[in-house]
Amino acid sequence: MGKTGVLGSFEELVLLALLHQGPDAYSVPIRRELEARSGAQVSMGAVYATLDRLEDKGLIRSRSGDRTAARRGRPRRYYELSPTGAAELHRTRRIRDTMWTGIELPEPEGGEA
Amino acid sequence: MTRRATPPRVADWIAGLLLEADDARRLLDDLADEYAEFQRPHRLWLAADVWYLRQVLTSVWVLRRTSATRTRGFKAQGGGGVTGGSMGIESLARDVGYAFRQLRRSPTFTLTAALTLALGIGATTAIFSVVRTVLLDALPYDHPERIVRAWAHTDDGDITDFSFRVVEYEQLRGRSDVFEAVGAEFPASFTVLIDRQEAHQVQGRMITGDFFDVFGTVPELGTMFSPDEIAAGDRVVAVVTHGFWTRFLGGDPAALGSTIDINGNPFTVVGVLPESYAHISGTDAQIFIPFTLGTSGWIAHWLDLFVRLQPGVAADRAQGEINAVLDAIGETDRRSAGWHATVEELHEMVVGDVRPAIWATFAMVGLVLLIACVNVANLTLARSTTRTEELSVRRALGAGRGRLARQLLVENLAVASVGGVLGLGVAMVGLRAVVAAAPPSIPRIADVALDPLVLGFSATVTLSTAVLFGLAPMLQAGRGAMHPGLARRGDGGSPSRGGLLGGLVVSEVALALMLLVSTGLMVRTLAELDRQELGFQRGGAATFRVSVPSSRYPTSADTHDFYTRLRAELMSLPGVTAVGAGSDLPVSGEGAVASVTTAARVEASVDEAVTVLQRRATAGFFGALGTPLLSGREFDGRDRADGETTAIISASLARTLFPDGEAVGQRIGWGSAPDEDDWMTVVGVVGDVRYTEVEAVPDPQLYQAHPQSAVRQMAVVVRTDGDPLAIVDPARNVVRSLDPLVPVYDVGTLNGLVDLALAGRRFTMMLFAVFGTVALALTVGGIYGVLAFVVGRRRREIGVRMALGARSGDVSGLVLGQGLRFVLIGLVLGGVGALGATRLLESLLFGVPATDPATFGAVAILLSLVGWAACWIPARRAARTDPMAVLREE
Residue-level pLDDT at B749 = 93
> To the nearest whole number, what is the mean pLDDT of chain A?
80
Neighboring chain B residues of A11 at a CB cutoff of 8 Å: none
Residue-level pLDDT at B694 = 87
* Distance (Å) from the alpha carbon of A87 to chain B's nearest alpha carbon: 26
Q: What is the pLDDT of residues B148-161, one digit of tens each?
A: 999 988 888 777 78
Residue-level pLDDT at A6 = 66
SS3 of B163, please? coil
Nearest to B143 by CA among B79, B59, B217, B208: B217
* Distance (Å) from the alpha carbon of A5 to chain B's nearest alpha carbon: 20
B107-130 helix and B355-386 helix, angle to the nearest 10 degrees: 170
Q: What is the pLDDT of residues B49-76, one digit of tens each?
A: 778 888 888 888 888 777 655 554 443 3
Neighboring chain B residues of A77 at a CB cutoff of 8 Å: 26
Q: B544 — phi, psi (to 5°)?
A: -155, 160
Say yes or no to pLDDT of B886 above 70: yes
Residue-level pLDDT at A3 = 41
Q: What is the DSSP string of B850-889?
A: TT-HHHHHHHHHHHHHHHHHHHHHHHHHHHT--HHHHHHH
Q: Does B18 touch chain A (CB under 8 A)?
A: no
pLDDT over 70, % of chain A: 81
CA–CA separation, B878 and B818 (whole Å): 13
Neighboring chain B residues of A27 at a CB cutoff of 8 Å: 26, 30
Report residue B393 CA to chain centroid gap.
Answer: 55
Greater model confidence, B381 or B438: B438
Say whether B27 and A32 touch across the interface (CB within 8 A). Answer: no
Give the 3-state secondary structure percentages of chain B, helix then strand then coil, rounded to 5: 55, 15, 30
* Distance (Å) from the alpha carbon of B61 to chain A's nearest alpha carbon: 8
Q: Enumerate residues 29 to 88 of chain B having a beta carbon within 8 A of any beta carbon in chain A.
A: 29-34, 54-55, 58-63, 66
Say yes or no to pLDDT of B541 above 90: yes
Q: How many Cβ pairs closer than 8 A exist between chain A and B?
A: 48
Minimal Cβ distance to B29: which of A31, A43, A74: A74
Ranges B135-144, B343-352, B746-755, B808-817, most confident:
B746-755
> Is the ipTM, as predicted for this complex, more than 0.90?
no
For B176-251, list the strands marked E by DSSP.
Answer: 179-194, 198-207, 221-222, 237-240
First vs last C-alpha separation in chain A: 30
Residue-level pLDDT at B503 = 82
Say whether B59 and A45 touch across the interface (CB within 8 A). Answer: yes
Q: What is the pLDDT of residues B300-320, one digit of tens each?
A: 777 889 999 988 888 888 899
Residue B751 DSSP one-character state:
H
Say whether A43 and B29 touch across the interface (CB within 8 A). Answer: no
| Range in B156-160, B334-338, B554-558 with the lowest mean pLDDT | B156-160
Mean pLDDT value across residues B82-98: 60
CA–CA separation, B578 and B623 (whole Å): 6
Say yes or no to pLDDT of B85 above 70: no
| Range in B17-31, B111-125, B396-410 with the lowest mean pLDDT | B396-410
Q: What is the pLDDT of residues B168-191, one digit of tens each?
A: 888 888 888 888 889 888 888 888
Minimal Cβ distance to A46: which of B29, B54, B62: B62
Give the per-residue SS3 of B431-486.
Answer: HHHHHHHCCCCCCCHHHCCCCHHHHHHHHHHHHHHHHHHHHHHHHHHHHHHHCHHH
Nearest to B316 by CA among B291, B348, B342: B342
> To the nearest whole number, what is the mean pLDDT of chain B?
83
Neighboring chain A residues of B27 at a CB cutoff of 8 Å: 44-45, 48
Neighboring chain B residues of A48 at a CB cutoff of 8 Å: 23, 26-27, 59, 62-63
Q: What is the pLDDT of residues B421-472, one digit of tens each?
A: 898 888 888 888 888 888 877 888 888 888 888 888 888 888 888 777 776 6
Residue-level pLDDT at B827 = 93
Say whether A32 and B32 touch across the interface (CB within 8 A). Answer: no
pLDDT over 90, % of chain B: 21
Instruction: Report residue B553's pLDDT band, with 50, 70 and 90 as the boundaries.
Output: confident
Say whether B59 and A32 touch across the interface (CB within 8 A). Answer: no
For B50-173, list the strands marked E by DSSP.
Answer: 147-154
Ranges B254-268, B431-445, B849-863, most confident:
B849-863
Say yes or no to pLDDT of B497 above 60: no
Residue B131 DSSP one-character state:
I
Instruction: Report residue B297's pLDDT band, with 50, 70 and 90 as the boundaries.
Output: low
Q: What is the pLDDT of residues B696-731, one digit of tens each?
A: 877 899 999 988 888 888 999 999 998 999 999 999
Instruction: Report residue B483's pLDDT band, with 50, 70 and 90 as the boundaries.
Output: very low
Mutation choice for B interface testing from A11, A30, A43, A50 by most B CBs within 10 A: A43
Neighboring chain A residues of B30 at a CB cutoff of 8 Å: 27-28, 31, 44
B866 DSSP β-pair partners? none
Q: A6 — phi, psi (to 5°)?
A: -70, 140
SS3 of B188, please? strand
Q: What is the pLDDT of residues B503-512, one digit of tens each?
A: 888 888 999 9
